[in-house]
Amino acid sequence: MHGSKLLLWLVATLALCMGTVADAQPRRHAGGAKTARIIPLADEDRVMIEDIAYANLGEILLGRLALDKSMNFAVRSFARRMIDDHSHAQSQLEKLAHSRGMSLPAETDMAHRTIAIGLRGLAGGAFDEEYLKRAGINEHERFIDLLQQMEDDAQDKVLRAYAGRTLRLVGLHLSMANELDGDDGNDGNDSKSGGE
């Protein structure tokens, strides 16, 4: 009888230990994928993430518009770079937000859509000039302000790191836009711009 009590006690202890080990492991969905623990965000951090998401989506929208409308090789190259870089930055932000239980907007805000509407009515050099001024310079200056605020004020250290990395990238974009905007009037319509 004493042996059966000992065996029962060992089985119960083993079951408890296995439950504790299972609780310490990340949970798996039915498909076998691990789910990460959600790290809660401060309300202020959520607002900053949303603002940055809108800015990334705005640059992507305006870059696509420039690819459709511009015939200038340099402007088209800049627009393509904006789409690529801001898509990557948005993807990183989505992963970060998701790990904190937040979903990002799928479309940009009304401010960026309004800029796009204004640009759609322009063509040729007028479009290029306005695109560089609005999307290349003004919006990147505003984006830098948002990122500096995030880097300085975000409570989440991962957000601050994201802001620092993205700030360098957006600063480079602003320099590129200023350089293109300051070009000597070369419209860029040379043999390189042919079929793009």
Q: Any idea where the domains of the chain sit in the sequence?
A: 43-184
**Cα angle vertex 145, ends 108, 122, to 5°?**
50
- 15-29, 59-73, 112-126, 163-177: range with lowest mean pLDDT: 15-29
Backbone angles phi, psi at 156, to 5 degrees: -85, 120
Question: 196 is written with which tokens?
Answer: 């793009």
- 60-69, 123-132, 174-183, 186-195: range with lowest mean pLDDT: 186-195
* Predicted structure pTM score: 0.75
Contact in structure between 128 and 78 (CB atoms under 8 Å) = no
Contact in structure between 60 and 90 (CB atoms under 8 Å) = yes
For the CA atoms of 36, 143, 196, 179, what is the dihedral angle to 10 degrees? -140
pLDDT over threshold 90, residue 116: yes
CATH number given to 43-184: 1.20.1260.10
Q: What is the pLDDT of residues 155-184, one digit of tens each?
A: 999 999 999 999 999 999 999 999 999 874
Which position has the higher pLDDT, 106 or 21? 106
Per-residue confidence (pLDDT) for residue 74, from 0 to 100: 98
